[in-house]
Structure 1
Amino acid sequence: MTDLRVDETPIPGLLVVHLPVHGDARGWFKENWQRAKMTALGLPDFGPVQNNMSFNATRGATRGIHTEPWDKFVSVATGKVFGAWVDMREGDSFGATFSIEIDESVAVFVPRGVGNSYQALADGTVYSYLVNDHWRPGFAYPALHLGDETAAIDWPIPLDSPEVEISDKDRANPRLSEVTPMAAKKTLILGGNGQLGRALAAAFPGAEVATRAELDVTSPEALAAWPWQEYAVVLNAAAYTAVDLAETPEGRCDAWAANATAPAALARIATEHRLTLVHVSSDYVFDGVSTGSTSEDGHTEDEPFTPLGVYGQSKAAGDIAVATTPRHYVLRTSWVIGEGKNFVLTMRSLAEKGVSPAVVDDQVGRLTFTSTIADAVRHLLDSGAPYGTYNVTNSGEPMSWRQIAAEVFSLSGRSGDEVTGTSTEAYFADAIAAGKPISPRPLNSVLSLAKLEATGFTPADQLEELRRYLSVV
């Protein structure tokens, strides 16, 4: 009896699993699929939803080469087969082949897009396979001729032997030169017309971008109709960000719909379709005065939520919902600056107009440029960083809004001293007196970057990025 072992093959992602088989005079027993043990050895936790079996009455029955759009875990319940696989995916490994004999002690994990075939080597062979998607009638997928000269599979029983039985359909499969490679699953960017959505589109040029007009994440009907099986990653930049209007009856409803209910729906979809969900959150989930804000490094990812207003409450609820799906990244940001109306451009406009503004000086944090967020998303996905929540801002010494405004003035040819300071309470006094909706602000929005930096990503200094940003906008 061998130990449980997982071996790699020349086809990326195609894994051979050697199974311990316990036998005696009665027969044998094996753990054909053992999630905990196998994933610990590197097998993907692929979430099978259907178990199929194929009975092959006589030696020589040959099936394939079929390239289904789902992962498979193949084995035999009885008998023996010669298994052969051809990589039919786009990329450098297209056309790569691998083969091995499978008896009760061997199983093979076959990733989506790798063509699967086998030849029965004994009468009464039962071939079994677990798959992680349900078969759908009428769905077409690539296939390859069993005798393709390029693949050159060395079948133990020659295909022209009278022992070999092949279906008419498989005999009509095309050669490799006629096959259209299977495309990889796509990345979807939600909220594509916002500041962050545009930055993500630049960082992920091959991604599909959906605006609210194309996919309203607050609409259950729209979400249900979307072809989620075509995607591997969803980047959620859709959000309600009007923090003051969120304090109105209508705004409260809209904020909760976009920031809490929609992420919860996306989390359920991500779980069902085994997607990686990336969601962007906010420093507003903290009040800026509790334990985390007094630490030297700022709020940490595991600090308890203490939101002050409706916007922060709805974002905190969204964070909790997204964390329920296994493959998730929540990126918590502060003071976001990108393409479109924002604080930095407003200050530059005032500087150019000769205005000397009063800016709040009791709120402290760091700027987060949308390009930095997009780069952090790319890094987390490409590096395979552990799923979870990460703070993402630019680095550097924390500053107040007044200090940032003064820096913008200096970079715009005005003296930073022309920006005066005021308190948050005084700044909003007139609006509050007039009965206008105002959301409470966290006074300390500094987020610790230690967890992000431990993955190998160090954000650029906020002042360096500010200078770069003002030089190109």
Structure 2
Amino acid sequence: MTEYGKALAPTETPIPGLVIWDLPVHGDNRGWFKENWQREKMTAAGLPDFGPVQNNISFNDAVGTTRGIHAEPWDKWVSVATGRIFGAWVDLREGPTFGAVFTAELDPSKAIFVPRGVGNSYQTLEPDTAYTYLVNDHWSPEAKYTFLNLADETAAIDWPIPLDQAELSAKDAAHPRLADVVPVSPKKMLVLGAGGQLGRALRAEFGEAPHIEYADRAELDLAAAGLDTARRWRDYDTIINAAAYTAVDRAETAEGRTDAWAANVTGVGALSRVAAANGITLVHVSSDYVFDGTKTVPYTEDDAVSPLGVYGQTKAAGDALVATVPRHYIVRTSWVIGDGGNFVRTMASLAERGIDPKVVDDQVGRLTFTDDLARGIRHLLSSRAPFGLYNVTGTGAPLSWADVARHIFTLSGHEPARVSGVSTEEYFRSADAPVALRPRNSVLDLSKIQSTGFTPSDVSSMLAAYLRG
């Protein structure tokens, strides 16, 4: 008998992500009515906004009809339209809960959210039972499925009607035992710009797990045609876009302007469409160059952008496109230092070679080391911080480029007074090629990222470690 009048409420199960829900059912002398799926109410109550795209109904004539155990590569929202079932779910995902079992009876007043990789099965307890489920991917012959035998001794499901008396297909009866099941791997992560300094830091941070892919422009060009079909994108959970056109001065030339817009806007727009269409979390790296640097205090995530040059304009445009993706993190950073040629290595080399440099002293900011930036990105993903824009740089007192150079000389055992400070105008006065305007203030406020539990590293400590290593 269907229970009427229950409040919408979730109950966790021993299988992570598998959540059973009470559904409000309204009945009278005519029958009953329920909202089987109501996005606004259910997501507000804690159901993942899993983006269903297909609705399936399995009608079962007889009591004892038994189906499963199937783990499909998508999430499912399972409920009963008529009748009653005994449901059994087995975790077939990689990890410590592989093989965990949960069982429950479902009638029209209950539903269950079944995450990708959890095996789903049921047995009807009443005739004419209609079993219905929403899924967040379209059925595809290319999709990979994982199966478990209904009679597996390890799972030891206590079926109300013994399987030798139940109605089941020959195919279901022939599924493998748990010992022969290959666990379902996590959804894939794709890191773009893998050959760059941040890309290399991300590889060090996330490692070489089979579900993590790294690609450079030669392997996946975002601005090329056919990005929508370049991968089976429904198999991906996260894309980290560490690829960008970063030649700030070259972007002021005719050729550079074209290249910068192609990489930082056209390509990012295509990637944003892919992420939005496939429910992918998109992580995108932004820049302090989206600001004009005239503010006298640190820039927050809420400050309006006002880029001075082409590079900053393209980054601001790309950020706006990424912001349209429902699941996005825009990570805004400044003065990035990583593996390879950079300001720190250049100054250390000049110090060792006895060269006394002139360095700009009217641009102020904080260094960001790629290891720390990669750590911040991982934190946002693993902590499931609210989606949106976050500033991520090193911490410590803001410094000019000349101040940073003096610290490098000191840490390298050289006299910091050898560094002379000059204005930006004086430094570029003799330049033959176009020079992009730089923001004078690149200091970013870190309150928002710190409020999520992330502690950026101190610039001075990171700089010392970088020079030692």
TM superposition score normalised by structure 2 = 0.97
Q: Are positions 1:266 and 2:282 aligned together?
A: no
Take 1:61 and 1:138, find their aligned partners in 2: how far apart are those partners? 28
Take 1:3 and 1:408, find their aligned partners in 2: how far apart are those partners? 63
Contact 2:147/2:176 (<8 A) preserved: yes
Take 1:227 and 1:133, find their aligned partners in 2: how far apart are those partners? 11
Deviations 1:189-247 (A, max 9, x none): 10000000000110111332111111112213245312322221111100000000001
Q: Match for 2:281: what amino acid?
A: T
**Residue 461 of structure 2 aligns to a residue in which SS?**
helix
Q: Are the structure 2 counterparts of residues 383 and 352 from structure 1 closer, same or farther at C-alpha, using a change threshold of 3 Å?
A: same
Find the partner of 2:256 among 246, 251, 255.
251
Find the partner of 1:65 among 42, 65, 69.
69
Q: Match for 2:372: what amino acid?
A: T
Q: Report deviation, 1:63.
A: 0.6
Q: Paired residue for 2:194?
A: 192
Take 1:413 and 1:74, find their aligned partners in 2: how far apart are those partners? 67
**Residue 166 of structure 1 aligns to a residue in which SS?**
coil
TM superposition score normalised by structure 1 = 0.96
Q: Paired residue for 1:228?
A: 233
**Residue 82 of structure 1 aligns to a residue in which SS?**
strand
What is the correspondence of 1:43-58 to structure 2 with a 5 Å cutoff?
A: 43-58=47-62
**Residue 139 of structure 2 aligns to a residue in which SS?**
coil
Take 1:146 and 1:229, find their aligned partners in 2: how far apart are those partners? 28
**Residue 430 of structure 2 aligns to a residue in which SS?**
helix
- Structure 2 residue runs without a partner (length 5+): none
Contact 2:227/2:270 (<8 A) preserved: no
**Residue 52 of structure 2 aligns to a residue in which SS?**
coil
Take 1:105 and 1:141, find their aligned partners in 2: how far apart are those partners? 29
Deviations 1:49-94 (A, max 9, x none): 0000011111111111111010001111111111111110000111
Aligned length: 462
Q: Paired residue for 2:436?
A: 439
Take 2:115 and 2:137, find their aligned partners in 1: how far apart are those partners? 12
Take 1:223 and 1:51, find their aligned partners in 2: how far apart are those partners? 24
Q: Are the structure 2 counterparts of residues 313 and 4 from structure 1 closer, same or farther at C-alpha, using a change threshold of 3 Å?
A: same
Contact 2:137/2:234 (<8 A) preserved: no
Q: Are positions 1:201 and 2:198 aligned together?
A: no
Q: Paired residue for 2:172?
A: 170
Take 2:105 and 2:59, find their aligned partners in 1: how far apart are those partners? 17
Q: Paired residue for 1:357?
A: 357
Q: Report deviation, 1:138.
A: 5.1
Find the partner of 2:453 among 452, 456, 459.
456
Q: After the TM superposition, which parts of structure 1 deviate over 3 Å for at least 4 consecutive aligned residues?
A: none
Deviations 1:154-191 (A, max 9, x none): 11111111xx2111111111111111010011221100
**Residue 11 of structure 2 aligns to a residue in which SS?**
strand
- Structure 1 residue runs without a partner (length 5+): none
Take 1:22 and 1:54, find their aligned partners in 2: how far apart are those partners? 23
Take 1:138 and 1:243, find their aligned partners in 2: how far apart are those partners? 43
**Residue 234 of structure 1 aligns to a residue in which SS?**
strand
What is the correspondence of 1:72-91 to structure 2 with a 5 Å cutoff?
A: 72-91=76-95
Contact 1:215/1:223 (<8 A) preserved: no
Take 1:138 and 1:187, find their aligned partners in 2: how far apart are those partners? 19
Take 2:67 and 2:454, find their aligned partners in 1: how far apart are those partners? 47
Take 1:406 and 1:6, find their aligned partners in 2: how far apart are those partners? 58
Q: Match for 1:403: what amino acid?
A: D
Contact 2:333/2:368 (<8 A) preserved: yes
The more displaced of 408-417 and 328-337 is: 408-417
Q: Match for 2:438: what amino acid?
A: R
Q: Report deviation, 1:320.
A: 0.6
The share of aligned pairs that are identical, in percent, is: 63
* C-alpha RMSD of matched pairs (Å): 1.1
